Amino acid sequence: MEKQIYLIGGSKGGVGKSLVTMALVDHLLEQGESVLLVESDTSNPDVWKAYKDAVDAHLLNLDEADGWIELVNLCDNAPKSVAVVNTAARNNRGVSAYGQTLNSTLAELKRKLVTLWVINRQRDSLELLKEYMAAIPNAEVHVVRNGYFGEEKKFELYNGSNVRKTVEDQGGKSVTFPDLADRVSDDIYSKRLSIARASKELPLGNRAELSRWKGAVAKVLSEIIV
Ligand SMILES: Nc1ncnc2c1ncn2[C@@H]1O[C@H](COP(=O)(O)OP(=O)(O)OP(=O)(O)O)[C@@H](O)[C@H]1O
Ligand SMILES: [Mg+2]
């Protein structure tokens, strides 16, 4: 079966890219997939730190051509793994400049590039999405409203936007990522835990909340992941 490249974007800082990436990696592992993780947030590689012992994990600088070349080569050398790329807040320029390197190899890699674009409720998330879609026109793009910032109907700007129409006309989905109780997400971040480890090691009450959230995440991701 064709193995995708999932790119978790959003460009803006703090929208939830890392947590969505962790949730996706965890979900893929539970499906029995082997995962190639690429962390491009080299200054704060939070996902890499949590998953480096669990999956094949690499730190790459996607602000530079080298990083994109390496990304293509890693994907080429691991044809049986699903690739998951966590982007950093500042990667937008690199994506526009070099994303074509990846784009032009997709056919030969026999992979599809699937983007999960994570948004908060502000306008810049949408402007950056337009730039991204212009830079990599044949990426499949899904928009992830991060429920951390409020319930679905509060994402009025996105919900009523033209960019939403464009995304959905191209077959992309708009989904809402569930909110995880702060004390549990704080545990995961401060202890650099993978979700699988947190599901074993946290106190019972915290684990129960994590399990509820994971169930909700699985429902959302199964709309996007085939
Ligand atoms: N759905 C959520 N439930 C609970 N907490 C969340 C959720 N989404 C984000 N957070 C919290 O918001 C903070 C920022 O999230 P995260 O690190 O995933 O964002 P980011 O987009 O990767 O940020 P950066 O651009 O700095 O890499 C984290 O402390 C995280 O705990
Ligand atoms: Mg991050």
| Cα(50) to centroid(ligand 2), Å | 12
Looking at the CA of 188, which ligand is closest?
A: 1
In 12-64, where does DSSP find H-type helix?
A: 17-30, 46-51
- What Å distances lie between residue 55 and 36, 60, 74, 89, 150, CA to CA? 7, 15, 14, 23, 32
Please report the pLDDT score of residue 135 as a whole number. Answer: 86
What is the C-alpha to C-alpha distance for residues 45 and 88, in angstroms, rounded to an integer? 9
Please report the pLDDT score of residue 89 as a whole number. Answer: 85
**pLDDT grade for 38, boundaries at 50, 70 and 90:** very high
Please report the pLDDT score of residue 85 as a whole number. Answer: 97
Q: What is the mean pLDDT of residues 184-188?
A: 97
Answer whether 146 contacts ligand 1 (Cβ < 6 A): yes
Please report the pLDDT score of residue 109 as a whole number. Answer: 95
What is the C-alpha to C-alpha distance for residues 10 and 116, in angstroms, rounded to an integer? 8
Overall residue count recorded for the chain in this entry: 226
Burial class from Cβ neighbours inside 10 Å (0-12, 13-18, 19+) for residue 176 reads middle
Looking at the CA of 187, which ligand is closest?
A: 1
Kindly give, in sequence order, each residue whose CB lies less than 8 Å from that of residue 24, ignoring residues fewer than 6 positions away.
6, 8, 84, 116, 221, 225
Please report the pLDDT score of residue 1 as a whole number. Answer: 65
The percentage of the chain sitting over the pLDDT mark of 70, rounded to a whole number, equals 100
Q: What is the mean pLDDT of the chain?
A: 95
What is the C-alpha to C-alpha distance for residues 78 and 118, in angstroms, rounded to an integer? 26
Does residue 3 carry a pLDDT above 90? yes
What is the C-alpha to C-alpha distance for residues 165 and 148, in angstroms, rounded to an integer? 23
Give per-residue pLDDT as tens, 158-174: 999 999 999 999 999 99
Give per-residue pLDDT as tens, 106-154: 999 999 999 999 999 999 989 999 989 988 887 899 999 999 999 999 9
In 113-226, where does DSSP find H-type helix?
A: 124-135, 156-159, 162-169, 182-190, 195-201, 204-224
User: How many alpha carbons fall within 13 Å on the CB side of residue 30?
Assistant: 18
Does residue 84 carry a pLDDT above 80? yes
Please report the pLDDT score of residue 5 as a whole number. Answer: 96
Ligand 1 pocket mutation, candidates 40, 46, 148, 176, criterion most atoms within 8 A of CB: 148
Q: Is the pTM of this model over 0.85?
A: yes
Q: Whose CA is nearest to atom 1 of ligand 1?
A: 179
Question: Which tokens go with 223?
Answer: 């709309």
- What Å distances lie between residue 8 and 5, 173, 203, 208, CA to CA? 10, 14, 30, 27
Give per-residue pLDDT as tens, 39-74: 998 889 999 999 999 999 999 999 999 999 999 999
What is the C-alpha to C-alpha distance for residues 103 and 96, in angstroms, rounded to an integer? 11
Structural domains in the chain, CATH included, are 5-224 (3.40.50.300)
- Do 47 and 25 touch, CB atoms closer than 8 A? yes
**Quick one: DSSP state of residue 178?**
P
